[in-house]
Amino acid sequence: MKNIMYFLGSLLLALAAAFFANKWLGGFENPGYVLIGIGHWSLETSLIVFTVSLIISFFLFYAFFRLLGWLIRLPGQVKNRGKNINFNRSQEALIAGLVDSAEGNWERAEKVLIKHASHSGAPLIHYLTAARAAQSRGAFDKRDEYLKTAADQAPGSDVAIGLTQAELHLSEKQFEQALATLTRLHSIDPNHASVLKLLHQAYQQANDWEGIRKLLPSLNTHKVLMEAEIKLLETEAFSNLLKQAAERGSADEIEGLWAEMPPYIKSMKGVSAIYFAAMIDAGVGAKVEADLAQTLSVAWNQTLVVLFGNVQAADAAKQLETAEQWLSKHPRDAVLLTVLGKLSLNCADAQKAEGYLSKSISIEPTVRAYQLLGDLLVSQGDTHNACELYKLALELASSEIVSRIDAISE
């Protein structure tokens, strides 16, 4: 409309200028003329008529070519208008699909997103959101179909699609599929923070502590987790690896892990106990006897005292002598006294064993002390008193079990 007004305004101005020019030329005796000859033909007219005709012809030709240009552009404009309409509808569909997903209307969200995905400026978002909606309603085949279509529709978006796929697999505890996808993404971009974070979650949920241990340097370098979280994860990884190695009974593997373990983890309460117990269970407790004694001399721990008593030492007498050195600082430690009684039995010193075990029971009766003292009496032929001790041990064990049941029921 604005262009038409400009056109008509220009035409009127041109005609007005021609009119005033005609008035001005009319004042002359000879207002001028124009002669055009072509072969045997000639055309003669006044200057003002020729000028007006020229102006009108110019505007007519201008209007003709503008109309012709509009007609040529018309199909494209109609097509673009249709595209714009479809694009606007796809944007509205995307918003509606996201709202439905947030409200839990999975099937409706899936339908509206897929219907308008082909006209969207961001089809990837449509397909990924539809894949999440499909999984939420249990349609795993549809989920995989949408993810495949997303890869076809948005080439170069492998990481975004892979991350969504891995998240969906993890939420369904499909660890093997998630790890396969994340391993592929890690090979594409080893430094991608989201890939590293999901890898850590996948390894942790799959109890793949060796995978976490190898991933820790990358998690630390790229600041995927806070420093405190990294240390906590590293502690958890090494502790679980030690337990797994202990279950396999591999002494070399246990020693290798202990050698690689950072000092701050070794010094944590309970970690050294896992290591010493693993070595003892693997049948190589004699290797850690000196380290275990050294640890106890620095930090007293009853769990480690029990482990020291379980070491199959090459020199039982020396082992007993080492344990007796701690008695001066811990004279009323019932656990130490029980261990001393056990070590005395290993050295075939019945008198000393009886003394340690009796004192331990007088301070704090335990099932283990009753059992060891009963075994000693049986070896001496005193079965009557031995049975009394076994009976006390059984009653004590039963009361402990009842107490645990009561604690749980409360």
Q: Are residues 145 and 152 in contact, defined by beta-carbon separation less than 8 angstroms?
A: no
Instruction: Give the integer Cα–Cα distance in Å for 90 and 73.
Output: 25
Instruction: Give the integer Cα–Cα distance in Å for 218 and 30.
Output: 98
pLDDT bracket for residue 130 (50, 70, 90): confident
- Hey, is 43 helix, strand or coil? strand
pLDDT tens string 188-207: 888 888 899 999 889 988 88
64 or 1, higher pLDDT? 64
Mean pLDDT in residue range 368-382: 92
Output the pLDDT for position 65.
Answer: 73
What percentage of the chain has pLDDT greater than the value 90? 29
CB atoms within 10 A of CB 260: 10
Output the pLDDT for position 93.
Answer: 62
Q: Is residue 54 over pLDDT 90?
A: no
Q: What are phi and psi of 380, to 5 degrees?
A: -95, 0
Distances (CA, A) of 298 to 235, 267, 303: 22, 11, 14
pLDDT bracket for residue 404 (50, 70, 90): low
Q: Which helix (H) or strand (E) holds 38?
A: strand 33-38
Distances (CA, A) of 98 to 76, 114, 145, 149: 32, 12, 19, 19
Q: Are residues 108 and 131 in contact, defined by beta-carbon separation less than 8 angstroms?
A: no
Output the pLDDT for position 171.
Answer: 85
Output the pLDDT for position 77.
Answer: 57
Of 243, 319, 237, which is closest to residue 275 (Cα–Cα)? 243
One-letter amino acid at 173 equals K
Mean pLDDT in residue range 108-122: 67
Q: Is residue 7 over pLDDT 60?
A: no
Q: Is residue 131 over pLDDT 90?
A: no
Q: Is residue 289 over pLDDT 80?
A: yes
Of 280, 310, 308, which is closest to residue 294 (Cα–Cα)? 308
Q: Is residue 139 over pLDDT 60?
A: yes
Instruction: Give the integer Cα–Cα distance in Å for 175 and 179.
Output: 6
Q: Are residues 340 and 317 in contact, defined by beta-carbon separation less than 8 angstroms?
A: no
Output the pLDDT for position 271.
Answer: 87
pLDDT bracket for residue 292 (50, 70, 90): very high
Burial track 14-43 (b if 16+ CB lie within 10 A, e otherwise): beeebeeebeeeeeeeeeeeeeeeeeeeee
Q: Are residues 371 and 393 in contact, defined by beta-carbon separation less than 8 angstroms?
A: yes
pLDDT bracket for residue 311 (50, 70, 90): very high
End-to-end CA distance of the chain: 85
- How buried is residue 313: exposed, middle or buried, by Cβ count under 10 Å (0-12/13-18/19+)? middle
The encoded tokens of residue 69 equal: 């240009």
Output the pLDDT for position 91.
Answer: 58
Output the pLDDT for position 308.
Answer: 93
Q: Is residue 87 over pLDDT 60?
A: no
**DSSP states of 395-410:** HHHHHHHHHHHHHHH-
Q: Are residues 133 and 98 in contact, defined by beta-carbon separation less than 8 angstroms?
A: no
Output the pLDDT for position 21.
Answer: 58
pLDDT bracket for residue 176 (50, 70, 90): confident
Of 45, 74, 340, 102, which is closest to residue 94 (Cα–Cα)? 102
Q: Is residue 257 over pLDDT 70?
A: yes
The encoded tokens of residue 75 equal: 């199909």
CB atoms within 10 A of CB 298: 8
Q: Are residues 101 and 129 in contact, defined by beta-carbon separation less than 8 angstroms?
A: yes
Output the pLDDT for position 9.
Answer: 66
Instruction: Give the integer Cα–Cα distance in Å for 325 and 327.
Output: 5
Q: Are residues 284 and 251 in contact, defined by beta-carbon separation less than 8 angstroms?
A: yes
Least confident of 92-101, 278-287, 392-401: 92-101
Query: Angle CA(88)–CA(132)–CA(123) in degrees, nearest 5?
Result: 30
Q: Is residue 250 over pLDDT 60?
A: yes
pLDDT bracket for residue 95 (50, 70, 90): low
pLDDT tens string 207-229: 899 999 999 889 888 888 888 88
pLDDT bracket for residue 408 (50, 70, 90): low
Output the pLDDT for position 290.
Answer: 92
What percentage of the chain has pLDDT greater than the value 70? 76
pLDDT tens string 342-368: 999 999 999 999 999 999 999 999 999
Beta bridge partners of 45: 34
Mean pLDDT in residue range 33-45: 73
Q: Is residue 317 over pLDDT 90?
A: yes
pLDDT tens string 65-82: 777 776 677 566 556 554
Of 139, 137, 158, which is closest to residue 148 (Cα–Cα)? 158
